[in-house]
Amino acid sequence: MCERTARSPAWGFRFFATDAIVVIAAAAGAILLRRMENPIWWVLAIVVGHFFLFCNVIRMRRGFELTWSVLFILNISFWMWMENLSSTTVVACQLPITAAFVIAEMRSTRYHGIFAPCLNPRLSEYLKERQAAFASAGSGFAGSDGP
């Protein structure tokens, strides 16, 4: 039931060479910042980790991604203002936000991330609607996570 077929390229986990380059560069950057004793090296790891989770594993809608980003910036800003910025406080506040967005996305009828056939009974309908929308827009169906 959760098997991917050749005709369903637009759901599930995805990983491209550019993703590998970004993950490797971010890991190297975080390690370099840590070795330079930069106190906020962990911000890079959190941001890139969430970007990978949202774009490649969950395949979250852009509105959720952008809202998460704004809330993350507010979270960091608040703890800086309170002069208590640490990875522990930021993660403790951000984790429930991440969980809420992931759960909301996985429960939606447009969910097409990892395990989508098991979690979204309307996956085929959603993919057909997307294919029709891309075809009518003249962009074809390239598996992009458009609006």
Q: Are residues 38 and 88 in the same domain?
A: yes
Residue 9 within a domain: no
- For residue 101, being part of any structural domain is answered with no
| 30: in domain | yes
Q: What is the pTM of this model?
A: 0.81
Q: What per-residue confidence (pLDDT) applies to 2?
A: 53
Mean pLDDT within 26-37: 96
Helices (H), the chain: 17-35, 41-52, 62-81, 87-107, 116-119, 123-136
- What average pLDDT does range 18-44 have in this prediction? 95
Rounded Cα–Cα distance for residues 127 and 134 (Å): 10
What's the whole-number mean pLDDT along residues 6-25?
83
Structural domain boundaries enclosing 121? 108-140
User: What pLDDT digit, counting tens, does each position of 83-100 carry?
Assistant: 999 999 999 999 999 999
Higher-scoring residue by pLDDT: 46, 142: 46
Q: Are residues 54 and 82 in the same domain?
A: yes
Look at residue 10 in the predicted model and tell me its pLDDT.
79
